[in-house]
Structure 1
């Protein structure tokens, strides 16, 4: 399970390059990937990926997008 950064509504530009390359990099290594951007997609994607990983002996990853997790609100504080 990968929680994504450098994705929708990312405030930190340093996160963007890897966030945009994560799925492609995993695929290049032979990892099967699925992406969840809605809460209702998480359970079936996790179930399917776990089945393929444990029963099918496949490397699998479920990417949890920032739309699912929510936009981060960071504020600087003094001190």
Structure 2
């Protein structure tokens, strides 16, 4: 159960992330539904100036972001760390084709993980992004969420590189499972 204080804190960092996307001119957001990033996704969905595109799989994200860039728009992919395995082959297109790739990743297994299935990819996902030529940034504090997304967007769009922003469960909250 989430307390009112936890809910308010989640809303605050989520609004900061959404505002950073707006301020950076992000107009297209591809996403795979995710509980950790739900409020960010909901804010993007509610914005009539943002085109939000639900994906069937994270591997569709790199093609979407390449198309955005070629069409003159800035895009972002929102995903969970378990989706890194689905996206990593196509993500390396960013380096070869020189288009910006901004990914916001809910980083499972980063703090008090309660789901065994999340641990293997959660422990390796940042390394996989780095091997694909991405900069991997970590957000461990809700106070840093908006500024981190703004900095990552500037880096991605100014250098035409991939940048993954990994949101720790300290920021998103920990999912509790009953036994």
In structure 2, the residue matched to 1:23 is: 126
Cα RMSD of the aligned pairs, angstroms, is 1.2
TM-score relative to the length of structure 2: 0.41
2:114 aligns to what SS in structure 1? coil
Unmatched 5+ stretches in structure 1: none
Higher relative contact order (CA 8 A, sep 6+): 1
Match of 2:147 among 22, 44, 51: 44
Of the candidates 57, 60, 67, which is equivalent to residue 170 of structure 2?
67
TM-score of the superposed pair, with normalisation by structure 1: 0.88
Structure 2, unaligned stretches of length 5 or more? 1-103
Aligned residues: 76
